[in-house]
Structure formats: structure tokens, C-alpha cells
Amino acid sequence: MLVRHHHAGRWYVVEFPEGTRVYRSRLTGMTLLHVPHEGRDVLVFDQPGELLVQLSEAGRYGLRLLAIESSGAGG
């Protein structure tokens, strides 16, 4: 699964392992990802924004950073 995540004026394209499930809270607006890893689910939140970026840069839990895109002119 590919996820585009916005943080600090940039879009990060992150690859998640097969079987990842996404839940979005209507109340808080936060996204929670259930990532299968070593026979169990690891919960990964999209906030704080740098967390998902750091995990994917480090290759933790099978996440992989594929691209970093500017948010547009001046961003």
C-alpha cells in the first residue's frame, strides 16, 4: 500500500507492507495504521507528523520511504 503523508511543507510517499489496514477517526481526524510485523500488528499514528517520516526513513516495521515531493511553489 502506498500512502502520501504531508509534513513540514512536503509530501512523503511511504510504502507499507501488504495487509496494512487504515482507520481514520471521525472525532479526532487522526489516522491509525495497523501494520503487520513479525506476526502481530504494530499501531502507527500519522501524528506527530514527523513520526511516520522517521519510521519510513529508518525502514522500521517494513515501511519504506519512496519519495519526497514539494507541496508546490515556495513549499
From first to last of the 75 residues of the chain, give the pLDDT tens digit: 999 999 999 999 999 999 999 999 898 888 999 999 999 999 999 889 899 999 999 999 999 999 999 876 554
Q: Residue 51: inside a domain, yes or no? A: yes
Q: Residue 75: inside a domain, yes or no? A: no
Specify the number of domains making up the chain.
Answer: 1
Cα radius of gyration (the chain): 12
Contact predicate 68/22, CB 8 Å: no
Give the predicted TM-score (pTM) of the model: 0.84
Q: Residue 61: inside a domain, yes or no? A: yes
Q: Residue 23: inside a domain, yes or no? A: yes
Domain residues for the domain of 12 are 2-70
Spell out a b/e string for 13-41, using b for 16 or more CB atoms within 10 Å of the CB, else e.
ebebeeebeeeeeeeeeebebbbbbeeee
